[in-house]
Structure 1
Amino acid sequence: MGIGESFLELCGRVGNLTKQKTGISIVDAYFGPEELRPELQDTQPVDELIAELNKLNDVINDEITDNIRRDFLVGEIASLRTVVDWLTGGDIPYSKLVSELFHIDIQHFSERDIDEAQANLDRLLPGDESQTLKERVYLYEEKGKVSGAELRQLIEGELQEKATEVGNLFKERVFSLMGDDVTDNGVTYKPVKDEPWSGYNYYQGDFKSINAFNTDRSFNRHNLLGVIYHEYEHHVSGLWREKAFHEKGWTELSIVPLHTGRCVISEGTADTAREFLEIKESETEELVRALYKLRRMTSINAAVMLNEKGTPKDEVIEYLIERGLRKPKSAKGSIQFIHPEKEDGTPNIWAPYVFTYYFGRNNFVFPTFQRAKEEDEMKRFFRTLYLNPFSGSSVTWKEAYNWL
């Protein structure tokens, strides 16, 4: 069995372990050989699983000569070991867990940082001067609010149509610049319930995706339309990854595990999709972006409070209301994503994930994108990103772009 096949097998085993412990497999997508599908893999004692991961790590270091491919896989293996340790009783402090999963340093934001983010939002948000910023945010969100049956209709109708437009923009503004193309069998939009997240891209293989939106939440129409760019870029990354698997024979690319350095770049590129497509922001879209940034920052602080400092849940909810300017229902809903445990007492596999979005964009993807744009190297930027999927990790990103 080769390195790629061994990687699929071990990812499947770790995924089965995480599903047993948390209800969710860390295998986010699979389009590889049928006989190596994750759900077909045996479970094994934890010490044997760790030993197999260590053994594969040694083989990768000994046999793979391409630096970026080797470092990518070594980083993935390290993250998988951390997942196993975390979910089988390892006493790992939250900051160390985030660092070892995603290969980034944990960061949080000062009160001054939050004040500045609120001030920027205050500048952009119209309203009566007698109203507080929080009151104006609530009014803005209420005006554009969609929920229930209206939300389901929007997801299955207007969002589906908008996704086709975004797909065409990627072809016209990115793929044509790259001088390459990829099969795109499209994205289906689907309303779902009972999830800790608001939206999710499920890459299906065969060059297609399902984008799910949680109708337990209410959305702002402007924000929801903007999310299409983020989710469609996830789909685009999956397309190029699948193409590389078929054309290059890199079997390890046919499985997509969560909670690795890949996620940092994946969320960073998705959050930079508007810039990739040269979408000019209206005043409304600038406002949406400012509110999104404030809420990402305060969610990171809330995650640190819950998981690192042991702050009581009610205090964290109040923090999200006062500093993140969320309504109480929204604050309580967002806690589900970052709380260390689910309501049934099992570990919440999403608890460390919140860092990937903000830092993936701001510490990795967007600064590199800006440099490439300034140096008229956009073609090479996109070819590096999409034609070499091994560049897409916090472990390999700087090495892959050291030509800039």
Structure 2
Amino acid sequence: MLTHADERQHREDDLMDDQQLNRELNDIAECYVKLVLAIGLHDPFYVDAFYGPEIWRLECKELTLTELQQMAKAKLSCLNSLNLSCIDAKLISRHSFLHKQVSSVDYYLSHLQGDKGSFDVESEGLYDTKSKKFGLCSFESIQDEIDKLLPGEGELAERFEQFRAEFIVPQNKIPVVFEASVDKARALTGVHIELPHDENFSIEFVTDKIWTAYNWYQGNYKSLIQLNQDQPLYIERCMELASHEGYPGHHVFNLLQERELVRSEQWIEYAVYPLYSPISFLSEGSANYGLSLIMSQQEVIDFERDILMPLAGIEGDIEKYHKVLACYKKLAYLDNLVCEQLTDGHILEEDAQNLLIKYGLYTRSSAKQRVKFYLSNRAYVINYNHGEESVARWIEKDGETRKLEHWKRFEALLMRPLTASQFKV
């Protein structure tokens, strides 16, 4: 039978074990951050964000990919050798995150050295998951639904684009319309998530990019959001982008980690963001899910009709437009199918463009831009649709319908990120 003194000694021993493990994880985390920065010297797109000690970036040496991979494998060995018995659950979670991230670093280093896996192998190696599969016939039935909503002569893609053109935000109106969208998203998010008083982001308009918008998190609760002007901006994209890039999307995702993990816990591994890694699955999935969390579909329609459309000088049947969009968004997984076929060498670039035009109702210009994204980012596309669906299942599990509970789960997921295999429902 244990005495009170025995129990106290056990607690003290457990605390010492936790402290020792945390120190060991701190050492591994520092090496991981420096490793990611070093890979960034080989691939300028790899480091999406870094707000750790600037001296680490300045002192970063250009090592060979072979040397970097040896370092990654050494860190994996260290992580595998740690004793996790009787350890605090928080530290086990930290260990698991580091292990998944370092494993993806190891995979990406093989990729950079020419060992490029298939679409599915890459999905698992970098993002800890694989997307479900759809055949082209799945998208034909969705096109039939859109065809019934937009009857008329000519190809469906032409009718769709002609109808959608009524809802393009004029170039000179984009700043004021997007700012109104950001203000709305920030206000709704702030009701449920306590945001730092000094958080903010600036907006920059750019061209000649393969993406529509991008959030560059800069630390100290600040972001730079770039909006690409190469393609038309449709009215529904304003709230989608404001919530995805800003509130409660990427900007909030990053600032919560900075506040809760980097500053509060001193977990430096979260101060660097390698783009092609498991954390992107949650980052993109939660950002895509964000709009449905802050507004119902009818609330989005009302806000666009009453606020955004007058600001943009647009008139049109917004109710019908969203009925069409609801069908159109069912085509999301076409992204994965076309990208997989292109990545695995089954089709050429022009074939990919034609599939997007025929089945995804893309314009030729937007199809070309999307194929450029596929070629650059490959399996990354699964993080949007598969990521959103996975986050939605996690947030709305157990049939829970109370919005307050959804917000609690969402914030908890952002403050203590899980990788794809950790939050399967």
Which sits farther off after the overlay, 319-328 or 158-167?
158-167
Task: Give the one of 349, 353, 370 matched to 2:396.
Answer: 370
CA distance 1:131–1:370, shift in 2 (3 Å): farther
Q: Equivalent of 2:70, from 47, 51, 56?
A: 51
Aligned letter for 1:369?
Answer: I
Deviation at 1:121, TM superposition (A): 3.4
Q: Which residue of 2 aligns with 1:7?
A: 32
Q: Which residue of 2 aligns with 1:343?
A: none
Kindly indicate whether residue 182 of structure 2 is the aligned counterpart of residue 163 of structure 1: yes
1:189 maps onto 2:240 in alignment: no
Say which one has the larger Rg. 2
Q: 1:227 aligns with which of 224, 231, 241?
A: 241
Partner of 1:82: 107
**Which stretch shows the higher mean deviation, 5-14 or 364-373?**
364-373
Per the alignment, residue 298 of structure 1 pairs with 334
3-state secondary structure, aligned to 1:272: helix
Q: 2:372 aligns with which of 324, 336, 340?
A: 336
Matched, 1:71 2:71: no
TM-score in terms of structure 2 length: 0.80
- Structure-2 change in CA distance of 1:371 and 1:110 (3 Å): same
The range that moved more, 154-163 or 61-70, is: 61-70
Q: How does 1:231-380 map to 2 (within 5 A)?
A: 231-232=245-246, 233-244=249-260, 245-281=262-298, 282=301, 283=319, 284-294=321-331, 296-339=332-375, 348=376, 350-362=377-389, 364-371=390-397, 374=400, 376=402, 377-378=405-406, 380=408
* Change beyond 3 A, Cα 1:40–1:215: farther
Is 1:108 the counterpart of 2:133? The answer is: yes
Per the alignment, residue 198 of structure 1 pairs with 212
Alpha-carbon separation, structure 1, partners of 2:336 and 2:175:
31
Q: Deviations 1:105-163 (Å, cap 9, x if unpaired)?
A: 2443212321233244345x4x44445532321112222234xxx43x34432212321
Q: Is the 2:142–2:330 contact (alpha carbons within 8 Å) kept by the matching residues of 1?
A: yes
Inter-CA distance 102–252: structure 2 relative to 1 (3 Å threshold): same
Quote the offset at 1:372 in angstroms: 5.9
Residue type of the partner of 2:217?
A: Y
SS at match of 2:226: strand
The yes-or-no answer on 1:134 pairing with 2:157 is yes
Q: 1:108 to 1:309 in 2, by over 3 A?
A: farther
**Match for residue 344 of structure 1?**
none
Amino acid in structure 2 at the alignment position of 1:182: P
**Root-mean-square deviation (CA), in Å?**
2.3
Alpha-carbon shift at residue 77 of structure 1 (Å): 0.7
Q: Distance in 2 between matches of 1:55 and 1:93?
A: 26
Q: 1:128 to 1:119 in 2, by over 3 A?
A: closer
Overall identity of the aligned pairs, in %: 22
Give the 3-state SS of the residue equivalent to 2:420 in structure 1. coil
Give the superposition deviation at 1:27.
1.0
How many residues are matched?
369
Q: Partner letter of residue 222 of structure 1?
A: E
CA distance in 1: counterparts of 2:265 and 2:112, whole angstroms: 34
Aligned counterparts of 1:102 and 1:378: Cα–Cα separation in 2 = 24
Name the counterpart of 2:304.
none
CA distance in structure 2 between the partners assigned to 1:248 and 1:287 by the alignment: 46
Q: Does 1:99 align with 2:124?
A: yes
The reply on whether 1:34 has 2:54 as its aligned counterpart is yes
- Seen in structure 2, the aligned counterparts of structure 1 residues 218 and 63 have a Cα distance that, compared at 3 Å, is farther
Q: Could you say if the C-alpha distance between residues 167 and 16 of structure 1 is closer, same or farther in structure 2, counting changes exceeding 3 Å?
A: same
Query: Contact 1:86 / 1:92 at 8 angstroms: preserved in 2?
Result: yes
Secondary structure of 2:409 counterpart? helix
1:259–1:353: 8 Å Cα contact kept in structure 2?
yes
Moved more, 204-213 or 108-117: 108-117
- Per-residue CA deviations over 1:374-397 (Å, capped at 9, x if unaligned) read 175435413421332x33x21433
* Structure 1 unaligned spans of 5+: 340-347
Task: Name structure 2 gaps, 5 residues minimum.
Answer: 1-25, 302-318
The 1-side partners of 2:127 and 2:272 are apart by: 17
**Cα distance in 2, alignment partners of residues 79 and 328 from structure 1:** 34
The 1:161–1:195 alpha-carbon spacing in structure 2 relative to 1, beyond 3 Å, is same
- Given that 1:68 and 1:396 are in contact with CA atoms closer than 8 Å, whether structure 2 keeps it comes out as no
Secondary structure of 2:297's aligned partner: coil
Task: Determine helix, strand or coil for the equivalent of 1:114.
Answer: helix
Q: Are the counterparts in 1 of residues 119 and 378 from structure 2 also a CA contact under 8 Å?
A: no
Tell me how far 1:289 sits from its aligned partner. 4.4
Give the CA deviation at 1:91: 4.2
Cα pair distance change 1:285/1:186, threshold 3 Å: farther
Structure 2 contact 340–379 (Cα < 8 Å) conserved: no
